[in-house]
Structure 1
């Protein structure tokens, strides 16, 4: 096909031939121009989005600005510091809990038994069981995005710390209760049980008489200690008991220590378990150096051997 036209009344005749090849070339050029225009608009749009709407740019093209990267890195570092701090607290709580358990076991284990097996003190065992948390977060946490993982890790470490704090409080309560009961030996050093609880022949008259305690024969000056924390309610001289001390403990227990050579505490004094309160002597109605030890609960005399460790018997 050929197009012809005149440029004026006296102008020359001009013509243009339109062929299929010319049409294809023109169409290709137009398509290329439109494609380049589209790329240019897309690039300009992403640049604008990066500057003014980073979230949109990230969702459309996976693009983040340096400022956005720095902000995200700062958030991650803050979360990691929080997790590190929580983990440090967890380690400290576990150490405190272990110390409380060791104190508890030390009180609950007879002194003679501890002395018999010093090499076995670190012998421990049992199955490995994870703490009973509210959910199996260890199996789920690493299936989440990094930011979510960090947040969930911090939350669950905090939950573990709370659990440890509750256990520590529970152990402390048990330990406080146990330390207030007269279950430890009232004497330190070498001794020998010379007279038990119950009816016996009186050492002075030979007649049957009730002996409301037990006798620890030991050298004069042997330390006498409080078997549990409590308050001194008696510290005086008595014609029968000689130098005598009485201590009130929890659960309405009262312990009595007689025939002492010295009394080292006064009435109303508060004493802790293991505190030195006096020394073995031979005062009062006594045939030789010994500690006469009695335990009462609610005013009733108890056989101390039913309260003291079995190794004492």
Structure 2
């Protein structure tokens, strides 16, 4: 680019050649000069504002004196420690909940299953103090915030572990024949173990519990499982056998009717049959057995809430 400049009465002509390099250098110099002028104005402007109107300077520049910053830090610490107190209270509630759950598991786990109850999860990790009050004087708000965030995360993990543990226990207990096969009024007419046979009056072994109840009384399955057998047996009459997995079977004998078929999946407390007197029976009752790994066991050691009647 060429600029022609004519000056003076005699028309003296001057020529100036401008290249892109000249333009670039000139533009950068102008921008730099404007930045320096702006920074100077801002610096001296805030200095003057601080001297003549400090409150305005704080509003414009978010400026705080060392004393004010210390006061803000003290307020932040107080708020964070209040939050820490709430975390402590929640942690105590979680501990109480875990204690109550353990007691409930003990009550809900039959004696025959106590040694097989699901084990507690193994835990470990870095020690982090739960109460930060003793460390507050030597900690900055940002450090306290970081520690409290860690505690909240650990508390969340603890709560999730409790939920997972309880869900596993519930799933485990629901798969074991621990429920009552008769929900309505009944009496135990014959216990598990040695007895005198009601037909030939000779000593014999009784392999289950006899629940004496009116004909037609609903029979409920005592755990989740699958129907293994639902047909006639010469001794048991109309016999229903449920496979609960893990080596457990339950048998329901002398029924009047069976409402499920072989291969059906059944749920705990589902009505699957009704009380009758079919097969080798002297009157209406449910003969109930539990088999563990091929051997009959005393149902009383498995049934939750069964009292002597």
Give the 3-state SS of the residue equivalent to 1:311 in structure 2: coil
Structure number with greater Rg is 1
Q: 1:43 aligns with which of 23, 47, 64?
A: 47
| Pair 1:272-2:267 in alignment | yes
Aligned to 1:212: 207
CA shift in 2, pair 1:163/1:181, >3 Å: same
Shift of residue 141, structure 1, vs aligned partner: 6.6
Count of residue pairs the alignment pairs up: 230
Residues 235-276 of structure 1: CA distance to partner in whole angstroms, max 9, x if unpaired? 122232222111112431111001112212222222222222
Give ranges in structure 2 of 5+ residues lacking alignment.
1-43, 52-56, 112-125
Q: After TM superposition, where is structure 1 displaced by more than 3 Å over at least 4 residues in a row? A: 44-47, 61-64, 93-110, 140-152
Query: Within 5 A, what are the aligned runs for 1:161-240?
Result: 161-240=156-235
Shift of residue 106, structure 1, vs aligned partner: 7.1
Give ranges in structure 1 of 5+ residues lacking alignment.
1-39, 70-75, 111-131
CA shift in 2, pair 1:141/1:156, >3 Å: farther
CA shift in 2, pair 1:180/1:200, >3 Å: same
CA shift in 2, pair 1:236/1:174, >3 Å: same
Tell me if the contact between 2:225 and 2:245 (Cα under 8 Å) persists in the aligned partners.
yes
Shift of residue 277, structure 1, vs aligned partner: 1.6
Q: 1:139 aligns with which of 129, 133, 139?
A: 133
CA shift in 2, pair 1:303/1:282, >3 Å: same
Shift of residue 278, structure 1, vs aligned partner: 1.4
TM-score by length of 1: 0.58
TM-score by length of 2: 0.59
Residues 22-60 of structure 1: CA distance to partner in whole angstroms, max 9, x if unpaired? xxxxxxxxxxxxxxxxxx79925979xx89xx79x65xx
| Pair 1:292-2:287 in alignment | yes
Tell me how large the CA RMSD over aligned residues is: 4.3
Give the 3-state SS of the residue equivalent to 1:232 in structure 2: strand
State how far apart, in whole Å, the 2-side matches of 1:230 and 1:102 are. Answer: 27
State how far apart, in whole Å, the 2-side matches of 1:308 and 1:200 are. Answer: 21
Give the 3-state SS of the residue equivalent to 1:249 in structure 2: strand
State how far apart, in whole Å, the 2-side matches of 1:145 and 1:134 are. Answer: 17
State how far apart, in whole Å, the 1-side matches of 2:50 and 2:237 are. Answer: 99
